[in-house]
Structure 1
Amino acid sequence: MEIFSSSVVFEKVADGKRKDKSVIQCMECSCDNVYMGSKDGVVQHFATGSKTGERLTLREITKRQMGRSGEISQLKAVPVLNHLLVLWDSSITALNMFCLEPIAALKKIQNVSQFCLGEPTVHTQQVFVELFAASTKRRAVSIHKVCVDRWECVGNVALAQDPVALAVYETCLCVATCDRYILHDYQTQSALELFTHNLGKQNVLAKQSVKGEFLLNGPGNLGMFVLKSGISQRPPVPWPDGVLDAVVNFPYVLVLQSKSLHVYSMLDQQLKQTVFLNSCKSLLSSTDGVFVVGEREIRRLWQSPPEVQIQKLLGCEQVTEALTLLDGVQSLLPEDSYKNLRRSIVCTSGWIHFYREAFLDAKELFIKGDLDPRELISLYPGMTLISEDFKSQPPTVSNAKDLRKLNNEAQPEFHKYLSFLCLYLREIRNTDLGQLFPQDIDTTLFKVYLELGYYDNLDQFVSSHNDCVLDVCVPDLENHKRFFTIGLLYQSHGQHFNAIQTWVWMVDDESVDSSEPNVLLHIVKTLSQLKEKSIIMKFIDWALQKDQKENPGDRSTFEPEEVLSILTNYPLALVLYLEFLVNEQQSQMEKHHTLLADTYASQILQTDPEMQDDATNMEEMKQKLQQLLWQSSFYDANAVYEKIRSSGLHVEKAILLGRVGEHRKALCILVDEERDEKAAENYCWRTSAGRDREFTQQLFSCLLQTYLESRPHVPAAVDLLNQNAVAFNLLMVLEVLPGSWSLQLVMRFLCESLRATTHDRRMRGLEKSLARMDNLRQRHAWIEATQEMVRMDKSRVCHSCQWQFNGPEFLRRSTGELVHTRCYSTNNSQ
C-alpha cells in the first residue's frame, strides 16, 4: 500500500573534472525557508516556491561559506529570534536566518558534537529558547538560554560517557552514550538508566516522537517508544538492521537505511511500505512532509490523507487494519469525518459477513454502522423502494453475490437471505434510523412476510401501526388471496369503511376461501370500537341479521337509548344488550330493568313448548326472569305483573305480588295454581330473608292457613310444620290446627318447637346472668377504687355538689375526684 508519495525537490549535479566535496551533509526547514549544509562548509538558503499539486520547488536566495574546510554537521532555525544555528568545526555559530550574516553579539560555543533546541519561552520582557549542546570532549551537556542579542550558559549535566545522540522534551534529556540510553531531568538532577545497546555510533538514535515521547534504537533491532517517565505505552517496532535514521510522522515511523526507506505503523507495528532510494544520510520531519537527505539530492515524502488511506484499505477489504488506523488518527480528524469513516468501515465488514451468511454478525455490524437500509433492500429482487431520489451504491466486496441470480437458481439459499432481511428490518424499524425511511422499511418487511409465508406475523404486523404503501401492498395481497389481511391493512391506515366492506364481502361470498374462521365476530368487534356513527349505521343491520348473539364488546359510542331504538326489531340482541346494562353496567334505571323483564316474558310466551330446543331456551329464560325479579329492586312490579297476568307464569306472578306486599295472593297462586309446595316454601324463606322473626312467623303461618283451607293439602301442611318448626310461633300454630288432627301428626313439630322455645328461654336467662355478672364486676371495680386512705379537712368539697364533707360517706372516682355517696349514686343512675 502506498502511504507516502515521493518527489525530488533538489538535485545537485556532480562536477566530473575534479573530486567534488560539495555533497549535501544536512538540511533544515522553517516555514517557507529551506537550509542546506554541505561537506565543504557552505550553508545555502532556499525559499519554497508555490506548490503545484504535490510538487515543491526551491529557489536559492543566498549562501555563505563558513570556512575553508570542514563540514556543516547540523542546522537549526529559531524563527522566533530570526536565528539560524550552524554546527561547524565543532562550534555553534548564530547567523541571521534570512541574510546568513553572523550575529556579532553571539560568540561561538566551542567543543560541541551535536545540539538540539527546546520550545520557545515567552516572558513579558524577553523571548528566549533553550539550547542543549552535547560535548564529547567534556562528556557533558550544557544548557544555554538563547536570546535575540545574547546567550548564556545556565546549566550543565555531566555524563559518565561520551554523548552520541541527544533528544529533549521540556526538562528531560534523553542521552545515548556508546553503550546505553539514559533519561536525565536537569531541574531535579534525577537520572534513569533505560537499557544498554551494542550499536555502532552511526546507528545510535534518540529522536522525539509524539508529545512527551522519545524514539530509540533498542537492542534486537527494535524501535522503542519511551515516555519521559521511563515507561513505554506502545509496543516496539521490529525494524531492520543497519538503521541510519528514523523519524515519526504520525501514525507512522519512517526508518532509513542507506538504500531504502521503510514505513512502519505505530498502531499495529507492521511494515506498510518500502521506498527504494540512492545513498541517503538522514531524515527531517517538517510540516511539509519528510525530507530524505542524500549526498546529491533531497527527496520529499508526503503522507496521503488518513481518509484516503482508509478508503484504500477498505478497497482491499483490510477492515481490521482500517479500523485500527481510524481509531489511531481520531484526534487528527473532524468529528463528522471520523464518524462517517467509522460507519463506512463497519458497514464494509458487515457486507463481508453478510455474503458469508454470518447473518447475526452482519446484522450487528449494519446496525452499528448505521447502514442505509435502502442499500440492502435494493439488492433483493421484487422489493420496491418508495424513495425516488435514492441512488444505490452496491457493496464492492470480493465475495458479493447476485441475489437476483440466487433467487432463480438456489431458492433455499435465497430464503436465508430473505430471512435475514426480515430480521434486520424488524430490528431497526423502531430506531432513529428506521424512522428516516418508514415507508421503505415497512413496505419491504410486508413483502418479506408475504414471500416467506409468515402469515401470522403478517397479520400481526399490519394490525398495528405501520407505514406500508397501500397502492403497493394491496395488489400483492389480492394475488395471494389474503383478503382478511387486506381489511386489517385498511383498518390500520384508518380506512375503516374499506376494511369492513372487504370483510362483509368475504362473509357474503361463499366462494371466497378465507383462512380466518370468525370474520363476522371481527366485524362486530370492529364496529363496536369505532367512533364514526355513520360507518356503524351502514353495517349494523347487516351484522344483526347475520347473528344477534355476537358480543360487540365496547358499546360506548352510542347512548343506551340510541342502542335500544336500533335493537327494537332484534329481540335476541335486545336481551343481550339489556343484560349488559343491568348486569355489567349496573344500571339503576327503572326503564332498563322493566324492559328486560318484559322482554324475558315476551320471549317465554312466544316460545313453542313442544319444540325441544325452544323448551330448553324457555326454561333458561324463566330462570333468568325469576333471578331478575328476585334480585332487582328497580323494575315496575305492577307493569310487569300486568304483562304476565293472564299467562301461566305462576312463580313469576307470585314474586311480583310479593314485591308489592300481596303475600297471601302470592302463596295462593303457588299452592293452588302452580301446585308446587316446594316453590311456596322457598318463597317464604326467600321473602323473609333479612327480616325479623315475627315477619317470618307470620309468613309461614299464612302458608299454613293456605294449606289448611284446602283439604287436599293436609299432607303438605304436616310436612311444612315438621320440616320448618323453627319458622313458626307455637301458640299461633296451636290456635289454627284442626281438632281432628292426631297428636302423632304433629309430634315432630311439637318436639322441635318446645326444644326451640326452651332453648330461647335458656339463652335469655344466660344473657341476663351475663349482664348481671358484668354489672357486679363494674361495682367491684368502683369499690376497689375507694379503699385507699383519704385525708379530710374543712377545705375538702364534693366535686359534684360543691358542699363540704361532713362525714365519712364519700367515694373516690377512678379519675381521683372525691364525691358524696349520694352524688355518686345519682350520677350513676342518670
Structure 2
Amino acid sequence: MAFKAFIKTHVYTKQEASKAKDRSSIQCLECYDRNVYIGTKNATVQHLILSSGTNGDMSPEQITTRDGRTKKLGSNNPIVQLRAVPLFNHLLVLWDRSIIALNMFSLDPVPTLKKIQHVSLFEVSESSFTDRGGCVGMVTSSSRRKVIHIHTVGVDRWEVVKEVPLLQDPWALAVDGTIVCLATCDRYLLCDVETGRGEELFPHDHSRQRIIVTSAGRGEFLLNGPESLGMFVMKTGTCQCPPLQWSPDVLAAKVCFPYILTVQPHALLIYSMLDQQCKQTVSVHGAKGLLSTPGGVVVFTERDIFSLRLVPLEEQIQALVGQEKVEEALLLLNGVQSHRPLDSYKDLQKTITCLAGFVHFYQEGFSEAKDLFIKGELDPREILLLYPDIGTCLGEDFHSQLDQENRGRDLQLLWQKDRNTFHHYLTFLGDFLRAVRGTEQDLKCSTEVDCALLRLYAELGDTENLQQLVIFPNECRLEYCVPVLEQYKRFFALGSLYQSHGKQTDALETWVKIADGSHKDSSCSDVYGHIVWTLSQLDDKETVWKFADWTLQRNQEIGVQLFTKRPREDRLETQDVLVLLEKHLLALVLYLEFLIHDLTSEEESHHNRLALAYVTQMLQEEEEADLRPTRGKLQHLLWESKFYDVSTLYERVKLTALHREKAILLGRRGEHSQALQVLVHQERDLQAAEAYCFRAVQDQDPQELLLTLLQIYLGSEDLISTVVDLLNNNPQAFAAEKVIQLLPDSWSVQLVSQYLFRSIRATVHQRRMVKLQKALAQVQLMQHKVIWMQASKTKFRLDKDEKCKVCQRVLTEPEFACSTHVCNIIVFMHCRSPCKRECRCEGQRCSQTPPSNIHVTVRINKTSRNDQLLRLAIVELPASEKQPSDLCGRNEPAL
C-alpha cells in the first residue's frame, strides 16, 4: 500500500456555461474559514459556503457547498488575484489593473476605500509597516513604473506609506514581514521595505521555466531556481535547507510543512522537505494553481476545486512504520517537532522509536534495535513476552501494550526449527537486559528482568555473568529461579543466590554438597576455599560453628582460615576456638601461630601450647616427613619468646631426642655448662655448641661461655682438633693467659702457634688503637684551650643601645653570647638556638646562626662603660661540646 501524506477530496465543480464556456472558468481562488471565493475570467466573484460541519482545513471526506452571493465587476477582464482581510471583513480583488475592496459576505464594494489603479501584482502582509495599530500591510507593484508601493490598510481607508524604486518590473512577489521577495524578468531578489535596501539572489530563465515565488513560512521563501532546483532562501539571503530537485515542468508550488506540493501538467507531486524525496503523486489534470489552508492545500482547475488534506502526522508515522520504513518515520517525527510541536510528542516518539526497534529486531539488526528500544524506553517485559520459556517469568498482571502476538509465534517457531538463529536472539536479549538493568526502564519490572537474565545465563552457559548476577543484590524470585538453576545444574550459582537473599545456611549446604560430590558443577574450581572464605566473613556465628568441624576435617591448613581471616572486630572467642582445635593438631598450631605472631599475644598459655604442639607434631611425624621447618619454628620460639614456662617445656622434652631444644631450655634456666654438655655429647653438633655460645649471651662478651666450651672439649681426647679450631677461629674471644693455663702440659707450642700469633697481634693492635685515641683526645683538648685563650683576650665594642641580633631588644643582661668572627654577632643567651640570619661578611652573603655553644659572662665596671669598651671576663665551654661551630659556616673558631 502506497504511503499517503495527503488525502484528496473533491470540493466543487463549476457548471459549464452553454455559450461562454471559456469565459466563466476559474481564474483564481481565496479561502478563509468556511468561505471560498472564486475569481473567474469574466470578472465575476463567486462566494461559496462550505457545509457547517466543515472547518477551514476541509477535512471531511465528502464536502458539501452551497452558493453564496455572486458579484459581476464589469467588463470581461479576468480577475487576477483575491485576498481576504478577515480583520476588516474585506475581500481585496485585483481586476482590470486595479484593486477594489468588497465586503466578504455581501460582496458589495466598500465605499470608503477607493480603488487603487495601475497595479500589476499585490500581496497582503501581516505587518502593517507602521507603528499604528489596527492596520494590515499591503505591497503592490505598479503597472506603469518600476516601483513597488507599501500600503497600510484600515477598516475605512488605505494609503501609500512608502515607495521603493526597482531596476526592473516585478513579475512575481511574496511578502514575509518587512521583506519582499521579487522575481523580475531574469533574476530573483530580496527587498527590505523599511530600509529600501535590495539584495540580488540568483538569475533565472523564464523562457525555459515558470517563475515561482512563494512564502515558505518562518522567514523563508521558495523559489524556482536554475537547473530546476527548488531553492529555499531565508529573508537574510542565506539558505538553510538543501535545494529540491524537481521537474522542469513545475507550474506552481506551495509549502505545507513538512512537504512541498508542486503542480505539473497532469499530476501533483508531493516532496518531503526533510529528505527531498517524492513521497506521493496525486492525479490532477489541468491544475492551474495552489492555495495554502490551515490543514493542507486547495488545488483548482478551470472547473474543479480539490482539497488536499494533510494526514495527521501520527498516522503518517505509523503508516511508515507499518511499511517498515522506520528511518523515514523517525526522520519525519524528529523533523516536524521543531516546526510543529505535538502535544504528545514525547509519548509518540517513544512509541514510534520502539516500533522502529521491532522492525530492526525481526530483521536481526540487533545493535540498532537495542539502541532504539533504550531510546524509546521500551518496557523490557514487551521483549520478554516474545521469548518461549523466558516469558514465563512475567507476572499475570502484565498486559502488553503492543500487538506482537504474531511476532511471538514467529520466535516460537524459530526456537523449534533454527536454534542457531534463535541463539542470536538470546544473545541480543542478554545485551538489552544488561543495558536497561538498574535504569528507569527497569524500575517497574526489576524482578522480571533479573529472573529473565538468570534463566538466560543458565541456558546459554554464561557462568561469569550468571555469577555476577547472583552474588550481588538482585530481585530474583526464589520460587522461579531455584528450579531453573537446578534444571541446568548450576548449583554453585544456586548457593550464591541463596546467599544474596540472606539464606546463608541453604547456601553453605548447597556448596558442601558440591564439595562432597553430591552435586556436579564445574563452574567453580575451588568450592571448598569459597566455603571457608564465606564462613570467615559471616556474621552469624552459629552458622560458623555449625560448619567449622566439617571444614577442619577436610583440610586443616585451609579450614583454620575461617578463624584467622575473620575481621578483627568480629573474631570468635579464643578459648572456644582452642577447644575445637584440640583434635586438629595442624590447625591448632596454625591458630596459635596466628595468635602469637599476628596478634602478638603475650599469654603464657598460648606460648606454652604452641611449643608443646610443635613437640607433639615432631614426635608424631618423626618418621613421616621432613621435620626441619617445624623444628626451626620451635627453636625460634624457645630463643625469642619470653612468655612460656621453661620448666613445663623442659619436662616435656627431657626424655626425647630433641637435644638442641633441651640445650636452649637449660640455657634459659642459666645452666649453660649443662646445655653445652648436651650439645657436645648428646647432640654431637659442635657447630651448634659454638653458635650457642654467641647466641646465649646475645650482645654480651661470649668469652666465658667459650672458655666453658673449651674445657668441655679438653675433657675428651677425641676433640683435640676441635679445640685447635675453636681457638684459631676466635682468637680475640680468649685471653691467652687463661688458655695457656687450661691447655695440657703435653701440648706443644707448635699446635697452638696460629692461635697465639693471632691473639698477640690482636692484643698489640688493640693497645695501639687505645694510644691513638688518647693522642687524638689530647689534640682536641689542645684546640679547645687555644680557643679559650683567644676568646679570653678578645676585645669588642658594645654601644649603649646595642641590640640582640635575633630578637632586636637592647642588651641589658650581664650575660650574652657572641662570636669572635668579624661579623660580631651578639645575642641574648636564650636566643642562641640555631636560626637562619642574613649578614654581611667580608662583602659576601652568608647564613648566620647565633652561637649556641658558648656561654659568655661579662662583668661591667663604670670606667669601661664610659669608654664603651667591654673586657671579656669568663668564657665557659659546655663539657659536651668537643668541636666549636663556625657561625658563618667557616673553619675559624667561634665564641
Q: Partner of 1:116: helix, strand, or coil?
A: strand
Aligned equivalent of 1:174? 181
Q: In the alignment, is the contact (CA less than 8 A) between 2:451 and 2:475 conserved in 1?
A: yes
Aligned equivalent of 1:581? 595
- The AA in structure 2 aligned to 1:105 is T
Return 245-254 or 732-741, whichever deviates more.
Answer: 732-741
Match of 1:51 among 32, 51, 54: 54
Alpha-carbon distance in 2 for matches of 1:750, 1:575: 50
Aligned equivalent of 1:593? 607
Aligned equivalent of 1:138? 145
- The AA in structure 2 aligned to 1:547 is N
Match of 1:744 among 736, 750, 757: 750
500 and 771 in structure 1: CA distance in 2 versus 1, 3 angstrom threshold: same
Q: Partner of 2:480: helix, strand, or coil?
A: helix
Q: In the alignment, is the contact (CA less than 8 A) between 1:143 and 1:155 conserved in 2?
A: yes
Return 261-270 or 320-329, whichever deviates more.
Answer: 320-329
1:555 equivalenced with 2:561 (yes/no): no
756 and 272 in structure 1: CA distance in 2 versus 1, 3 angstrom threshold: same
CA displacement at 1:303 relative to structure 2: 0.6
- The AA in structure 2 aligned to 1:719 is D
Alpha-carbon distance in 2 for matches of 1:571, 1:60: 115
Note the 1:213-292 alignment, pairs <5 A. 213-292=220-299
- The AA in structure 2 aligned to 1:572 is L
Q: In the alignment, is the contact (CA less than 8 A) between 2:209 and 2:248 conserved in 1?
A: no
- The AA in structure 2 aligned to 1:90 is R
Aligned equivalent of 1:488? 496
Q: In the alignment, is the contact (CA less than 8 A) between 1:315 and 1:396 conserved in 2?
A: no
Aligned equivalent of 1:199? 206
Alpha-carbon distance in 2 for matches of 1:403, 1:769: 105
Q: Partner of 2:8: helix, strand, or coil?
A: strand
Aligned equivalent of 1:38? 40
238 and 510 in structure 1: CA distance in 2 versus 1, 3 angstrom threshold: closer
Count of aligned pairs between the two proteins: 814
Note the 1:65-84 alignment, pairs <5 A. 65-67=72-74, 69-84=76-91
- Per-residue CA deviation, residues 92-133 of structure 1 (Å, 9 max, x unaligned), is 223344544443333221111121122244988633222111
Return 512-521 or 750-759, whichever deviates more.
Answer: 512-521
Q: In the alignment, is the contact (CA less than 8 A) between 2:386 and 2:404 conserved in 1?
A: no
Aligned equivalent of 1:531? 539
Give 5+ residue unaligned stretches, structure 1.
804-809
Aligned equivalent of 1:806? none
Note the 1:102-181 alignment, pairs <5 A. 102-121=109-128, 126-181=133-188
Alpha-carbon distance in 1 for matches of 2:359, 2:405: 7
Aligned equivalent of 2:327? 320
Aligned equivalent of 2:831? none
Match of 2:705 among 699, 704, 710: 699
CA displacement at 1:630 relative to structure 2: 2.0
Alpha-carbon distance in 1 for matches of 2:532, 2:356: 52
Aligned equivalent of 1:632? 641
- The AA in structure 2 aligned to 1:519 is V
Q: In the alignment, is the contact (CA less than 8 A) between 1:263 and 1:273 conserved in 2?
A: yes
Return 736-745 or 110-119, whichever deviates more.
Answer: 736-745
CA displacement at 1:759 relative to structure 2: 2.7
Alpha-carbon distance in 1 for matches of 2:801, 2:38: 129
TM-score w.r.t. length of structure 2: 0.81
Q: Partner of 1:163: helix, strand, or coil?
A: coil
Q: Partner of 2:117: helix, strand, or coil?
A: coil
Q: In the alignment, is the contact (CA less than 8 A) between 2:10 and 2:305 conserved in 1?
A: yes
585 and 356 in structure 1: CA distance in 2 versus 1, 3 angstrom threshold: farther
Q: Partner of 2:222: helix, strand, or coil?
A: strand
Match of 1:602 among 612, 616, 632: 616
Q: In the alignment, is the contact (CA less than 8 A) between 2:792 and 2:873 conserved in 1?
A: no
Return 69-78 or 41-50, whichever deviates more.
Answer: 41-50
Q: Partner of 1:127: helix, strand, or coil?
A: coil
Note the 1:812-823 alignment, pairs <5 A. 815-816=824-825, 823=873
- The AA in structure 2 aligned to 1:580 is F
480 and 132 in structure 1: CA distance in 2 versus 1, 3 angstrom threshold: closer
281 and 776 in structure 1: CA distance in 2 versus 1, 3 angstrom threshold: farther
CA displacement at 1:209 relative to structure 2: 0.8
Aligned equivalent of 1:753? 759
- The AA in structure 1 aligned to 2:542 is S
Q: Partner of 1:445: helix, strand, or coil?
A: helix
Q: In the alignment, is the contact (CA less than 8 A) between 1:251 and 1:265 conserved in 2?
A: yes
Q: In the alignment, is the contact (CA less than 8 A) between 1:120 and 1:127 conserved in 2?
A: no
1:679 equivalenced with 2:677 (yes/no): no
Match of 2:661 among 646, 652, 664: 652
CA displacement at 1:505 relative to structure 2: 3.1
CA displacement at 1:497 relative to structure 2: 1.0
Aligned equivalent of 1:719? 725
598 and 95 in structure 1: CA distance in 2 versus 1, 3 angstrom threshold: same
Return 72-81 or 111-120, whichever deviates more.
Answer: 72-81
513 and 119 in structure 1: CA distance in 2 versus 1, 3 angstrom threshold: closer
Return 134-143 or 71-80, whichever deviates more.
Answer: 71-80
Q: In the alignment, is the contact (CA less than 8 A) between 1:244 and 1:258 conserved in 2?
A: yes
- The AA in structure 2 aligned to 1:51 is T
- Per-residue CA deviation, residues 118-152 of structure 1 (Å, 9 max, x unaligned), is 22449886332221111222232111122333322
- Per-residue CA deviation, residues 26-70 of structure 1 (Å, 9 max, x unaligned), is 332334544333334344445552239625555555454434544
CA displacement at 1:424 relative to structure 2: 4.2
Q: In the alignment, is the contact (CA less than 8 A) between 2:794 and 2:820 conserved in 1?
A: no
CA displacement at 1:384 relative to structure 2: 3.7
234 and 647 in structure 1: CA distance in 2 versus 1, 3 angstrom threshold: same
Q: In the alignment, is the contact (CA less than 8 A) between 2:150 and 2:193 conserved in 1?
A: no
- The AA in structure 1 aligned to 2:81 is Q
230 and 591 in structure 1: CA distance in 2 versus 1, 3 angstrom threshold: same
Q: In the alignment, is the contact (CA less than 8 A) between 2:49 and 2:66 conserved in 1?
A: yes
Aligned equivalent of 2:581? 567
Q: Partner of 2:556: helix, strand, or coil?
A: coil
- The AA in structure 2 aligned to 1:404 is Q
Aligned equivalent of 1:89? 96
Give 5+ residue unaligned stretches, structure 2.
803-810, 827-855, 859-869, 881-895
Q: In the alignment, is the contact (CA less than 8 A) between 1:70 and 1:88 conserved in 2?
A: yes
Q: In the alignment, is the contact (CA less than 8 A) between 2:794 and 2:872 conserved in 1?
A: no
Q: In the alignment, is the contact (CA less than 8 A) between 1:171 and 1:186 conserved in 2?
A: yes
Note the 1:534-545 alignment, pairs <5 A. 534-545=542-553
1:500 equivalenced with 2:508 (yes/no): yes
Q: In the alignment, is the contact (CA less than 8 A) between 1:785 and 1:814 conserved in 2?
A: no
Q: Partner of 1:301: helix, strand, or coil?
A: strand
Aligned equivalent of 1:303? 310
544 and 648 in structure 1: CA distance in 2 versus 1, 3 angstrom threshold: same
827 and 269 in structure 1: CA distance in 2 versus 1, 3 angstrom threshold: closer
CA displacement at 1:274 relative to structure 2: 1.6
Aligned equivalent of 2:14? 12
177 and 578 in structure 1: CA distance in 2 versus 1, 3 angstrom threshold: same
330 and 816 in structure 1: CA distance in 2 versus 1, 3 angstrom threshold: closer
Match of 2:676 among 667, 679, 685: 667
Q: In the alignment, is the contact (CA less than 8 A) between 2:127 and 2:177 conserved in 1?
A: no
Match of 1:28 among 30, 40, 57: 30
769 and 438 in structure 1: CA distance in 2 versus 1, 3 angstrom threshold: farther
TM-score w.r.t. length of structure 1: 0.86
1:622 equivalenced with 2:631 (yes/no): yes
Alpha-carbon distance in 1 for matches of 2:697, 2:198: 111
357 and 126 in structure 1: CA distance in 2 versus 1, 3 angstrom threshold: closer
Q: Partner of 1:143: helix, strand, or coil?
A: strand
217 and 723 in structure 1: CA distance in 2 versus 1, 3 angstrom threshold: same
Q: In the alignment, is the contact (CA less than 8 A) between 1:225 and 1:233 conserved in 2?
A: yes
